[in-house]
């Protein structure tokens, strides 16, 4: 009986949780939308309480300033709030593109995402990349088309563009009546109701007009005959093309519901949030190197998806972000650190913003716990109650900038090697070693990371380095069933072949042309654009 009650409580904790991230190209409105969500959830009381983690343009060359801002954003890395009967964990993602790798990793720890697209700009570079990651994991996506109060692209054109560029089917669940200065509101196709826009006034539940039948004359009275007819025509077309909404393809990551609104005006945000809690998935079962782990299993398991190092010399600790996948995480209980094969416990597991206390006693699947770390963790590490496995589907992406590490102080070679290994364990950069040699190459997504690494190597390890730029643009992990063919390839391409930290072979390409040429000339060699951290 006791077991049954505990079981039911545990299952209801899981069912309550919705863990997700809001993603967008910088400036599309992610911070604004996040803030509106938190206002609805009562996690903050006033607008402006969420510090934008966007790095302001003037600060892009000053990484200490950036770190200071990132420091602020640790507190808001996970924003938990209650909305209606759901407990929402909103995982923040960095706004600066040089920290894109952090964002990709965060996406491995969420169960769904809300993608914000600027109606004026449409699909942008970061949108594409982020969606690629979602597609790799079949993450369910809801699209929010923002800034309807501005003159943007025609909604049907936007849908076409998003479908084509992001390679996903869309299903509009709301539809705008004009945009820019003529914007009158949105019709909610899911609830069959109309929400009218008033730029000077916050929309409330009273502003929602139920409108089952669009041919009701009330529509003409509310928006005028011309716009009423246009809406009828648009909605007929949408229904003809898309039919009724079926949540299944959304849950499988094949189709994305679309909402229109204006985050800054808090318009269309509540509809988005209300639908989100109805259709977004609770924590799901996950694949590991050994077996599928059911979220309902009694035994605890979780993995580290992000490590935040503190650059402040007075607080050298790191925070490892643990996503709970099954069972219950408990403070002071011993868990098994699979990679190190040792038992560890945490006396001060850290809860992020918006919970009553800083230290948490327990956490359930879908929750994220901050663990103070002195260098024991790397991305992808798994904690269990004894079983040995790693969660899969945590990818490493190709860096975009490559530089050779030049050791300026040979007396500190040991410290340098240790520093390089530890810093790259945090996942901000990747370390490669010349195949059959000792040259060390660092690959990053952004220039800033090199400054950060140089600074930290000196401050934390006493190692002084300089970086020499290398003319590569992409790293591809290479495999081949035929050993001889691989050996030949390595021999001919010595200066392009390196190994990653796990000893996997990697080809560094100078340009797309070189890469295509090698792929054509070596059909037996497989070129992979991502690598699994836990194979």
Residues lying near ligand G4P in the complex (CB under 6 A) are found at 24, 26-32, 52, 54, 95, 146-147, 149-150, 262-265
From CA 229, how far away is CA 376, in angstroms rounded?
Answer: 63
Q: How far is the CB of 275 from ligand G4P (least distance, A)?
A: 18
Minimum CB distance to ligand G4P smaller for 27 or for 160: 27
Residue 151: other Cβ atoms inside 10 A: 14
Q: Which is nearer to ligand G4P, 147 or 456 (CB)?
A: 147
- DSSP H or E run through 56: none
Contact between residue 197 and residue 267 where contact means Cβ atoms under 8 Å apart: yes
Give least dist CB 97 to ligand G4P, A: 11
Angle at 462 between CA 75 and CA 427, to 5 degrees: 40
The Cα–Cα gap between 367 and 16 comes to: 11
Least separation in angstroms between residue 120's CB and ligand G4P is 9
Give the shortest CB-35-to-ligand G4P separation in angstroms.
Answer: 8
3-state secondary structure of 369: strand
Pick between residue 86 and residue 147 the one whose CB is nearest to ligand G4P.
Answer: 147
Backbone φ and ψ of 336, nearest 5°: -95, 120
Q: Which is nearer to ligand G4P, 24 or 351 (CB)?
A: 24
Which of 381, 384, 294, 407 has its CA nearest to residue 335? Answer: 384
Min dist CB 147 to ligand G4P, Å, is 4
Identity of the residue, 97 or 435, whose beta carbon is nearer to ligand G4P in the bound complex: 97
Of 28 and 189, nearer to ligand G4P (C-beta) is 28
Residue 74 CB, nearest distance to ligand G4P (Å)? 17
Question: What is the DSSP-derived secondary structure letter of residue 27?
Answer: T
Output the six-digit token pair for 172: 């509009």
Instruction: Give least dist CB 497 to ligand G4P, A.
Output: 39
- In the chain the first and final C-alpha atoms are separated, in Å, by 41
User: Which residues, listed in sequence order, are joined to residue 145 by a DSSP beta bridge?
Assistant: 117, 260
Q: Which two tokens stand for residue 42?
A: 């009562």
**Spatial separation of the C-alpha atoms in residues 17 and 215, rounded to whole Å:** 39
Q: Which residue number, 179 or 214, has a Cβ lying nearer to ligand G4P?
A: 179
Sheet containing 208-210: which strands, arranged edge to edge? 174-177, 185-188, 193-196, 208-210
């Amino acid at each position: 009986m006791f077991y049954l009650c505990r079981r039911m409580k545990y299952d209801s904790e899981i069912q309550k949780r919705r863990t997700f991230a809001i993603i967008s190209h910088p400036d599309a409105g992610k911070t604004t939308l996040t803030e509106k969500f938190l206002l609805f959830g009562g996690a903050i009381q006033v607008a402006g309480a969420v510090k934008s983690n966007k790095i302001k343009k003037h600060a892009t060359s000053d990484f200490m300033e950036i770190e200071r801002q990132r420091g602020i954003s640790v507190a808001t890395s996970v924003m938990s709030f209650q909305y209606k009967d759901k407990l929402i964990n909103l995982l923040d993602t960095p706004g600066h593109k040089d920290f894109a790798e952090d964002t990709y990793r965060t996406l491995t720890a969420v169960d769904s995402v809300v993608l914000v697209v600027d109606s004026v700009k449409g699909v942008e570079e970061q949108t594409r990349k982020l969606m690629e990651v979602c597609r790799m994991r079949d993450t369910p996506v809801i699209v929010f088309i923002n800034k309807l109060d501005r003159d943007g692209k025609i909604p049907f054109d936007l849908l076409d563009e998003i479908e084509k560029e992001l390679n996903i089917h869309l299903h509009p669940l709301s539809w705008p009546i004009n945009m820019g200065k003529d914007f009158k509101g949105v019709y909610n196709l899911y609830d069959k109701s109309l929400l009218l826009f008033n730029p000077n006034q916050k929309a409330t539940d009273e502003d929602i007009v139920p409108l089952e039948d669009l041919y009701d004359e009330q529509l003409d009275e509310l928006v005028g005959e011309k716009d009423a007819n246009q809406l009828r025509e648009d909605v007929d077309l949408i229904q003809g093309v898309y039919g009724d909404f079926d949540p299944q393809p959304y849950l499988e990551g094949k189709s994305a519901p679309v909402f229109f609104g204006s985050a800054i005006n808090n318009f269309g945000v509540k509809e988005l949030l209300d639908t989100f809690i109805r259709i977004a998935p609770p924590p799901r079962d996950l694949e590991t190197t050994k077996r599928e782990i059911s979220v309902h299993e009694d035994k605890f398991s979780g993995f580290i998806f992000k490590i935040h190092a503190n650059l402040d010399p007075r607080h050298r600790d790191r925070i490892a972000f643990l996503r709970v996948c099954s069972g219950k995480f408990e403070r002071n209980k011993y868990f098994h650190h699979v990679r190190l094969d040792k038992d560890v416990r945490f006396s001060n597991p850290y809860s992020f913003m918006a919970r009553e206390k800083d230290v948490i006693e327990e956490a359930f699947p879908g929750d994220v716990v901050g663990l103070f770390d002195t260098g024991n963790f790397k991305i992808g590490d798994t904690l269990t109650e004894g079983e040995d496995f790693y969660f899969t589907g945590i990818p490493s992406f190709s860096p975009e900038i490559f530089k050779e590490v030049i050791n300026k102080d040979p007396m500190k070679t040991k410290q340098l090697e240790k520093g390089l290994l530890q810093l790259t364990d945090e996942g901000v950069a990747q370390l490669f070693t010349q195949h059959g040699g000792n040259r060390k190459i660092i690959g990053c997504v952004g220039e800033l990371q090199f400054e950060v690494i140089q600074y930290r190597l000196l401050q934390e390890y006493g190692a002084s380095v300089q970086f020499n730029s290398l003319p590569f643009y992409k790293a591809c992990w290479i495999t081949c069933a035929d050993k001889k063919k691989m050996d030949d390839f390595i021999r001919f391409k010595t200066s392009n072949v390196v190994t990653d930290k796990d000893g996997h072979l990697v080809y560094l390409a100078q340009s797309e042309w070189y890469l295509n040429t090698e792929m054509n000339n070596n059909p037996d060699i497989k070129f992979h654009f991502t690598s699994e951290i836990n194979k």
